[in-house]
Chains A and B, each alone.
Chain A
Amino acid sequence: MNSKRTAQSIVYLMLVVFATITLIPFAHMLAGAVKTKLDFAATLFLPAGDGFLGIGWDRITLENFYRLFFELEISRALLNSLFLSSVHAILTVLFCSMGGYALAKLNFKGRNFVTTLVLTALIIPGPLLLAPGFQLLYQLDLLNTYTGLLLPGLTPAFGVFLFRQAMINGVPNELLEAARIDGAGEARIFFELVLPLVRPMMGAFLMISFMGTWNNFIGPQIILQSPDLQPLSVALNNLKGIYGTDYALIMAGTLVSIAPVMCIFLLLQREFIAGLTGGAVKG
């Protein structure tokens, strides 16, 4: 009995140690964000001083945030990130659920062909499409536009695949049959019957899509040239180029860039993880 107890305590100890190690970079970022540029390199976390616990509480400052929002106009980049990520998320969920539904529940000639197409698309590595994709956007005159950034990625094969998986088992055929017999149109069936049944997957994919766009760097870096259009990933990196030595400022910027995703994640945790692992476990 005792050995089980010690085993359990060891486990807890290890978990706490690893958890602390995991949290350290976050703490480092938080501490850095509220320090001045000169104080940044002087101490690892909070500035040293004469205050409580040997910390210079009076030297904690919000000037980095002030600068970011009022001088460096990071709010525009923040707006861009929010806009691009949320719009992209909503549209991908819509289109991928439609495609997944067709492949999962509708019988038609060519269903197998399209399914194979989707599976093949999963294998194509992104970088392969960077150069020709860029040239195509140039020819379509879509460079330096939101459309050019969003359009190519509006229907990721991964999304179609996930929704197909979710619907195959999650949507009973009998339900659809009954609705059709009642005379309901396909669109009504889809929106009122099917979608509510895959609510968890919708939540999961919204999150996956949102995060993917939010953290996307290479796309906007290549396609968006005007600073007005650039999201946080590119804008913050540009700041880093100009104010490279000001780590405190960059830490503050990173905090601003991470916080929204973290908050949304807290709301969508369960669905997100279920969606991620669901595709793998059953697939």
Chain B
Amino acid sequence: MKAFRAWISRFLSPGALVILTIAVVTSLIVASLPTKEVKGIPFWISAIVHYEAYTPLIKEWNEQHPESEFGITLLNARALERRMLSGFLSGSPVADLIETHLAIVAKAFLGPVDEIGFVDLTERLHREGIYDQINTPSFAPYTSRGHIFGIPHDVHPVLLSYRADIVEAAGIDVSQIETWEDYFRVMRPLMRDYDSDGRPDRYLMTASETRGDVITMLILQAGGSLFDQDDRPNFNDPINAEVLARLTTWITGPKQACTDVPAFTAAGHRQRLDGVVIATMTPDWMAGSWKIENPGLSGKLKLMPLPAWRKGGIRTSVAGGTMIGIAKTSHHIDESWALIKHLYLSPKLAEHMYRTTTIISPVKTLWNQPFYDEPDPFFSGQPTGRMYIDQAPDVPSRPSSPYNEAAGQKIVSAMIALRAYADSNKIYDEPTLKIEAQRLLDQEQQSLVRLISRNVFLLEDKTP
């Protein structure tokens, strides 16, 4: 033994020996570990709340359908995107059922239509009458060149959630508010600068030049758009310029009333609790996330329809979306279709979803369910579900372009440039800003068109 030790130490210092031992031991373990087989037909999802909601339902399904058991896996969104694309493009193993965010799904629409990795569901939807049961605009992000590749999980209307405790204590009556102009005028007295350092400590709403989600929500509400119905870039729509210009006056300059409060970080939750902003544009899923992440807000908030962009305009917008689709490579297409119907059309899931995440179902026939009308203590007893459903018919439609993410980034770039322009030239009136906004948008439009026209795989002509 001693001789062996002496022999070894001629070659390896103690540290090196440790590494060698680890190598040997781990190799043995790895070789003997069975590859983890997820039992059942693979089903990938990327939203943690869905995972918690689906698991009991899938268990029930598996018990009733032992011949088509499903195994659900929760993946990080980017990981799901990578594996999905890798599966569609390089043939690596991909799940049969995939449920994920619209931004990720759109990336599968980059190539020719018949090469899209999802099964075309258009015929099935119409044949079985399901298409008419679901809120029509909600299909838009998952429809490419006229073919529908997924069923929407949600509608995601947007309401304005506001600190009722602060607003009502100041004696302000929100029912008078019809447009954004009304809103800022009525709420202005609530702005505060506690430490008199010239920097406001309480703002009226969450918004900033870096919040692409807020910018897009406003653009959609105002009737603008990033792409037209044929997925061609539509940046230089004058309505978009109008939105960017007006938003600039909200976030900077003499009429500044908005600041960025991060949506998902601990710091953001803290700030919301402290009342750094009075109101936030809140899609249904965000309301649900706050109930879990920021329970301290319960009873302090109320909801109201978004102030309209102009008199008579729609009082809502849309943000986010999840769909479920079937991979073409699946050997269990019919079973997958059955599971989708079971999950998405069932009142039980709709109720479970609503109760755990506040998300309303896109299935119109379920909108009369009583649980949507229940008083919600988080929002001071308001019927949250009903309020969101009331806005559902007005929810704007969205494109399914794979360049959606790139477009979103460009809008943010334009907004940042516009704000810088306003601040360095001290120009804060809308009409002048609108001209500069239009110029910036034209630039971004050209840039995006160039990017798209580079793609040799999109066989249709995309240039306007």
Collect the chain B residues with CB atoms within 8 Å of residue A268's CB.
13, 15-16
Give bound CA distance, A228 to B264, whole Å: 28
Contacts A138-B90, A196-B11, A247-B266; is A267 near B23 (CB within 8 Å)?
no
Contacts A225-B92, A264-B18; is A241 near B13 (CB within 8 Å)?
no
Residue of B12, B19, B82, B293 ringed by the most chain A CB atoms within 10 A? B19
Q: Which residue of B lies closest to A41 (CB)?
A: B266
Nearest chain A CB to B106 CB, angstrom units? 19
Give bound CA distance, A237 to B78, whole Å: 10
Verify B20–A86 contact, CB threshold 8 A: yes
Contacts A41-B266, A238-B75, A241-B79; is A86 near B26 (CB within 8 Å)?
yes
Interface residue count on the A side (C-beta < 8 Å): 42
Verify B14–A267 contact, CB threshold 8 A: yes
Is B172 on the interface with A (CB-CB < 8 A)? no
Is B76 on the interface with A (CB-CB < 8 A)? yes
Collect the chain B residues with CB atoms within 8 Å of residue A242's CB.
48, 74, 76
Kindly specify which of A19-27, A118-126, A171-179, A199-207 makes contact with the partner chain.
A199-207
Is A40 on the interface with B (CB-CB < 8 A)? yes
Collect the chain B residues with CB atoms within 8 Å of residue A225's CB.
82-83, 86, 92-93
Nearest chain B CB to A21 CB, angstrom units? 23
Residue of A37, A86, A202, A244 ringed by the most chain B CB atoms within 10 A? A86
Give bound CA distance, A109 to B27, whole Å: 39
Nearest chain B CB to A198 CB, angstrom units? 9
Verify B92–A143 contact, CB threshold 8 A: yes
Verify B19–A210 contact, CB threshold 8 A: yes
Is A79 on the interface with B (CB-CB < 8 A)? yes
Is B10 on the interface with A (CB-CB < 8 A)? yes
Collect the chain A residues with CB atoms within 8 Å of residue B76's CB.
237-242
Contacts A144-B92, A203-B15, A241-B79; is A89 near B266 (CB within 8 Å)?
no
Verify B16–A206 contact, CB threshold 8 A: yes
Collect the chain B residues with CB atoms within 8 Å of residue A80's CB.
30
Nearest chain B CB to A244 CB, angstrom units? 6
Q: Which residue of B lies closest to A260 (CB)?
A: B22
Q: Which residue of A lies closest to B89 (CB)?
A: A138
Collect the chain B residues with CB atoms within 8 Å of residue A264's CB.
15, 18-19
Collect the chain A residues with CB atoms within 8 Å of residue B75's CB.
227, 238
What 8 A-B pairs come out closest when comparing CB atoms?
A: A241-B76, A267-B15, A268-B15, A86-B23, A83-B26, A41-B266, A238-B76, A86-B22
Extra A-B contacts (10), CB below 8 Å, given A89-B23, A200-B13: A40-B266, A144-B92, A199-B11, A202-B12, A203-B13, A206-B15, A227-B75, A244-B264, A245-B266, A264-B19
- Mark A residues whose CB is within 8 Å of B: 37, 40-41, 79-80, 82-83, 86-87, 89-90, 138, 143-144, 195-196, 199-200, 202-203, 206-207, 210, 221, 225-228, 237-245, 247, 264, 267-268, 271
